[in-house]
């Protein structure tokens, strides 16, 4: 084993192709090489408003997607963050070693809070501290994420270093992001300069993991294109064409240059038909398995309960050590 990985996805919206290609699929690839811990990060989800019943359903949906995409429940640990109390416990300790200046630099808070910073909840601001706690609670060495989360993993390294220095310990490893370049940033189908995102108000902007074949085909057909003949990869001047090529290459698991050469003289309409066939072929089996698992919640609930017990065993040991290092009196 090359080390331990930790990663998570929020049950906060529509699970989409970006989450799959940028995160979940890499998790499946890495599960044999690392000791792998994967989490449905529901505590993070409530940093923006959530309907409680929908949150429960989406927690099941995200866990179902992990299993449907090929995570092996015997090899990996799959659990819900709120089931292991040590996550917020460690986050509090980290809140007390993290300078405000570090949080002020986080671009995700700026993006999500927008101009209404004073009205944003404190949890949205301290979200990266909780993420550092998620990773370091398991003393994970590697964190597979999409490009958008790189800054947060770097902060987790800084926090680990700050803790180790403050308490003159070598307790936490400095975790490294693992970014699969070929699908590090999947863009919106409606605007090639924006990230495909669960919170985009337009459902046409993303392919949801739960979309059926017709919906996928329709969304790709309506995806924004440009007026040039043939596809080419040039994110600056042809963001939409580049994004569609990147999605094709990632789904086909082929080098982008090969895909670019193959479609350099193909019309958008013909290319979109090919992309749509490929997307359906790759995603449909996962979607069908997700639907089956979501209909049989008992199976997912059992997987989450087992995962929580496995995670808890590591987490309770590490939080006890941290509490001792910090100087809390044993109970």
Contacting residue, 63, 68, 156, 186, with ligand AQP by CB under 6 A: 186
Which CB sits closer to ligand AQP, 146 or 192?
A: 146
CA distance 156 to 136: 8
- The verdict on 154 binding ligand AQP (CB under 6 A) reads no
Largest pairwise CA distance in the chain:
71
Q: Do the beta carbons of residue 74 and residue 303 sit within 8 Å?
A: no
Q: How many CA atoms lie within 13 A of 67 on its CB side?
A: 26
- The verdict on 198 binding ligand AQP (CB under 6 A) reads yes
Which CB sits closer to ligand AQP, 7 or 287?
A: 7
Which CB sits closer to ligand AQP, 47 or 276?
A: 47
Contacting residue, 4, 5, 6, 18, with ligand AQP by CB under 6 A: 18
- The verdict on 239 binding ligand AQP (CB under 6 A) reads no
Binding string, residues 59-98; x marks residues near ligand AQP by CB under 6 A:
----------------------------------------
Sheet order of strands, 142-144 included? 77-80, 35-40, 4-9, 142-144, 176-178
CA distance 203 to 208: 8
Contacting residue, 4, 6, 10, 97, with ligand AQP by CB under 6 A: 10
- The verdict on 314 binding ligand AQP (CB under 6 A) reads no
CA distance 311 to 305: 10
Contacting residue, 146, 192, 239, 307, with ligand AQP by CB under 6 A: 146
CA distance 105 to 158: 13
* Terminal CA-CA length for the chain: 35
Contacting residue, 4, 5, 6, 9, with ligand AQP by CB under 6 A: 9
Q: How many CA atoms lie within 13 A of 80 on its CB side?
A: 22
Contacting residue, 12, 98, 205, 276, with ligand AQP by CB under 6 A: 12
Q: Report how many residues bind ligand AQP under the rule CB under 6 A.
A: 20
Long-range contacts from 95-104, C-beta under 8 angstroms, 24+ separation: 95/126, 95/129, 97/159, 97/162, 97/163, 97/166, 98/129, 98/132, 98/159, 98/162, 99/162, 102/155, 102/158, 102/159, 103/128, 103/129
Phi/psi-derived region of residue 176, left when phi > 0, alpha when psi is between -120 and 50, beta in every other case: beta
Residue numbers 108-137 binding ligand AQP by CB under 6 A: none
Which CB sits closer to ligand AQP, 125 or 163?
A: 125
- The verdict on 197 binding ligand AQP (CB under 6 A) reads yes
We find the least distance from the C-beta atom of residue 42 to ligand AQP, in angstroms, to be 11
Which CB sits closer to ligand AQP, 84 or 97?
A: 84
Contacting residue, 25, 195, 224, 272, with ligand AQP by CB under 6 A: 195
Q: Would you state the torsion angle of the CA atoms of residues 162, 163, 168, 172, taken in this order, to the nearest 10 degrees?
A: -110
- The verdict on 246 binding ligand AQP (CB under 6 A) reads no
Q: Which residue has the tokens 């996928």?
A: 216
We find the least distance from the C-beta atom of residue 247 to ligand AQP, in angstroms, to be 10
Under the rule (CB under 6 A), what is the footprint of ligand AQP? Answer: 9-10, 12-13, 18-19, 22-23, 145-146, 148-149, 183, 185-186, 195-199
């Amino acid at each position: 084993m090359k080390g331990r990985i930790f990663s998570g996805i929020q049950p906060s919206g529509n699970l989409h192709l970006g989450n799959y290609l940028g995160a979940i699929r890499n998790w499946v690839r890495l599960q044999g090489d690392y000791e792998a811990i994967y989490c449905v990060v529901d505590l993070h989800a409530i940093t923006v408003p959530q309907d409680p019943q929908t949150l429960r359903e989406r927690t099941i949906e995200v866990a179902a997607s992990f299993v449907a995409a090929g995570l092996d429940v015997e090899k990996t640990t799959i659990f819900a963050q709120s089931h292991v109390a040590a996550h917020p416990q460690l986050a509090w300790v980290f809140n007390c070693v993290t300078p405000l200046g570090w949080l002020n630099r986080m671009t995700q808070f700026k993006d999500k809070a927008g101009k209404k910073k004073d009205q944003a909840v404190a949890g949205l601001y301290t979200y990266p501290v909780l993420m550092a706690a998620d990773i370091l609670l398991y003393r994970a060495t590697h964190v597979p994420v999409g490009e958008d989360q790189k800054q947060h993993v770097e902060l987790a390294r800084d926090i680990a270093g700050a803790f180790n220095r403050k308490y003159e310990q070598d307790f936490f490893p400095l975790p490294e992001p693992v970014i699969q370049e070929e699908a590090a940033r999947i863009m919106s189908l409606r605007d090639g300069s924006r990230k495909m995102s669960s919170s985009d108000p337009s459902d046409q902007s993303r392919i949801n993991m739960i979309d059926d074949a017709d919906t996928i085909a329709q969304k790709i057909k309506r995806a924004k294109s440009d007026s040039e003949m043939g596809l080419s990869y040039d994110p600056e001047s042809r963001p939409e064409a580049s994004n569609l090529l990147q999605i094709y290459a990632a789904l086909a698991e082929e080098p982008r240059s090969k895909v670019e050469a193959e479609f350099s003289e193909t019309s958008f309409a013909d290319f979109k038909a090919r992309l749509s066939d490929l997307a359906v072929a790759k995603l449909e089996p996962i979607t069908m398995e997700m639907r089956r698992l979501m209909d049989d919640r008992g199976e997912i609930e059992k997987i989450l309960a087992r995962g929580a017990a496995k995670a808890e065993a590591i987490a309770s040991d590490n939080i006890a050590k941290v509490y001792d290092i910090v100087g809390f009196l044993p109970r």
